[in-house]
Amino acid sequence: MQTLQLKTLSRDELDAFIESLDEKLFRAAQLWSWLYQKNIVDFGHMTNLAKEFRIHLLEKTTAKRLDLIHLNHSESTGTQKFLWQLEDGQQIESVYIPEGSRRTVCVSTQVGCAMGCTFCATGRMGLIRNLSEYEILEQVLSIWDRINEKPTNIVVMGMGEPFQNYENVIKSLTILNHVDGAAMGARKITISTCGIVPRILQFAKERQPFKLAISLNATTDAVRSRIMPINRKYPLKELMKAAKYYSHHTRKRITFEYVLIKDVNDTSEDAGRLLKLLQDLPCKINLIAYNATSGKYARPDEAVIKRFAKQIESICAPVILRLSKGDDINGACGQLLVEKVNVF
């Protein structure tokens, strides 16, 4: 008989499962609290559960941690990159980024990625498979267990395109957001997409509470299609129409991420077009200087980065120049890449 992973269950699904065991419904609330408020996975430590119930859980279910097989730690920033092994032998990475009072976890949603963005290391892997709800949310819970503090922020910007694994991503974040569990605030959870237009529209229509970020990275279809193949299917005009629909429908501000790449998208003309593209849209702009991978691109000179940031200052939106954390351990934006590591 296959063992049920409890962390694939929503709150309502857990209620139904507990009732199927002929247990009192309040047991589901107790179990949910142990799993997500206290972040405990050992049934033997769940002291307010009856012994017979704990035995029943041991026989039929599991709630175990991800298997950590490698950890890189940045001495300069405190950033940590975790390499996890999944039950089928596949491997994924996630990143912990401490900054002041913020404790951010960058979460992966797929093994590899099908989007093929030419500046992103993960794209070189291709898509192997989607992650389950458990494999997504447990990245956060396992890191919480290891740093002994609950993360304050979640960014779904690791390996994979979240909106290609939409249902599992939304379900896992809803579990982490649940008021009776980890209670991680929806305003502290950001999902980043390269521009899957139908899912942006769905996300808006469902009024999902989580924040939306769009990886833009170019101001013309010619350049964006060259560095982000998804643009050939959903060009800028269609993407910006979806972004405006989201903003109007939800009354929420979008974050646009713009990775500055030397001699690709960093000119004064690019900055001018970016201003024009976003001028009527409530948003925030994250400028990210390219983080080197083994690809063909380079980071712009510091003077070019500062000039670009200065040029778009006039937009009626916050402009944040993001300083990479974890690039010394290949844990920064665009650097996540699993090259198979053996477990000893």
Domain boundaries in the chain?
4-62, 67-329
Q: What is the pLDDT of residue 62?
A: 96
Q: What is the pLDDT of residues 283-316, one digit of tens each?
A: 999 999 998 766 689 999 999 999 999 999 888 6
**What pLDDT is stored for residue 1 in this prediction?**
54
The active-site residue, picked from 19, 120, 333, 339, is: 333
Q: Which residue in the list 93, 133, 135, 161 is annotated as catalytic?
A: 93
| Six-digit token string for 159 | 């390996």
In the chain, which residues have pLDDT < 50?
326, 329-332, 334-336, 338-344
Q: What is the pLDDT of residue 293?
A: 67
Q: 93 catalytic, yes or no?
A: yes
Q: What is the pLDDT of residue 325?
A: 52
Q: What CATH superfamily classification does 67-329 receive? A: Aldolase class I (3.20.20.70)
Tell me how crowded residue 83 is: count the other CB atoms within 10 A of its CB: 19
In this structure, the dihedral spanned by the alpha carbons of residues 323, 327, 331 and 334, taken in order and rounded to 10 degrees, is: 70
Length of the chain, in residues: 344
Could you give the angle at which helices 133-147 and 166-177 cross, rounded to 10 degrees? 40
* Phi, psi angles (nearest 5°) of residue 281: -120, 120
Instruction: Read off the pTM.
Output: 0.92
Residue pair 338/108 in contact by the 8 Å Cβ criterion: no
The CATH fold assigned to 4-62 is: DNA polymerase; domain 1 (1.10.150)
Q: Looking at this protein, which amino acid is placed at residue 158?
A: G
CB 85 within 8 A of CB 343: yes
